[in-house]
């Protein structure tokens, strides 16, 4: 799949492939992808943001619009500045997001 960003939009980061290896005991495979599958507010596209339960296309577009107008998010709490995201909503997504 090829993604062409809109004029002025920052291209999304490409996630590295997950490499499987055997664990230290030689039995259970472990992933070299140490971080959990958190969504980066500064690089995610609409599709990536929609992987979060409760975030549809409109909310995802609001996040991207805010990012384009105000620059990258400095903290996850900056999401409260986006229309439709209050303190409870941000708290709900905090463990699924990164900046």
Q: Which residue from 16, 17, 15, 74 is spatially nearest to 48, judged by alpha carbons?
A: 15
CB 90 within 8 A of CB 96: no
What is the model's pLDDT at position 19?
54
Q: What is the CA radius of gyration of the chain?
A: 16
Local confidence band at 6 (pLDDT 50, 70, 90 cut-offs): confident
The answer, yes or no, to whether residue 29 has pLDDT greater than 50, is no
Q: What is the pLDDT of residues 81-98, one digit of tens each?
A: 999 999 999 999 999 999
- 76-82 LR contacts (CB < 8 Å, sep 24+): 76/41, 78/41, 79/41
Domains of the chain plus CATH, in order, are: 36-98 (1.10.150.280)
pTM value is: 0.62
Distance CA 18, CA 31 (A): 7
pLDDT at 39: 93
What is the pLDDT, as a whole number, of residue 28? 45
Q: What is the mean pLDDT of residues 49-55?
A: 91
HSE (CB half, 13 Å, CA atoms) of 44?
A: 26
């Amino acid at each position: 799949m090829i993604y062409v960003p809109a004029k002025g939009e920052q291209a999304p980061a490409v996630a590295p492939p997950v490499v499987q290896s055997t664990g230290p005991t030689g039995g259970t495979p472990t992933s070299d992808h140490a971080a959990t599958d958190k969504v980066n507010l500064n690089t995610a596209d609409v599709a990536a943001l929609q992987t979060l339960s409760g975030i549809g296309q409109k909310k995802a577009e609001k996040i991207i619009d805010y990012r384009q107008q105000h620059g990258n998010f400095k903290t996850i709490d900056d999401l409260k500045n986006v229309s439709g995201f209050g303190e409870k909503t941000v708290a709900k997504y905090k463990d699924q997001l990164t900046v």
